[in-house]
Amino acid sequence: MVLSTNTPTLMDSEERNAPWNQPEPQELEVTVSITLSKTVKIKVDMEFTDTDFDLESEVREQVILPNSKGENFTDWNEDDFNVIVE
């Protein structure tokens, strides 16, 4: 006695492309490097040309950087985006 089903027989090409014959997604470890920029104005008390002037420190004190908690990234521009497979 032959049992009949309503499932149609698949051709070889259809069988290979069937979802149950697709490989499982693999996990891949990558390093992501993103460069962001934002134009801002800061206040300085001394001459910009003064040898003791530390521009980086002045900016870090006055600008909320994107790695700060609660910072909204919408006003930052993505300058560069790279991905490296580990």
pLDDT in tens, 3-57: 566 666 777 777 777 777 778 888 989 888 888 888 888 888 766 666 667 778 8
Residue 38: which residues within 8 A CB-CB, separation 6 or more?
63, 75, 76, 77
Instruction: Tokens 């962001």: give the residue.
Output: 36
Q: Is pTM beyond 0.75 here?
A: no
Virtual torsion, Cα 56, 59, 60, 62, nearest 10 deg = 160
Mean pLDDT of 51-70: 75
Residue type, 43: K
pLDDT > 70? residue 86? no
Going by pLDDT thresholds of 50, 70 and 90, the confidence category of residue 71 is low
Contact, 71 vs 64, CB < 8 A? yes
| pLDDT value, residue 49 | 62
∠ CA 30-34-39 to the nearest 5 degrees?
Answer: 175
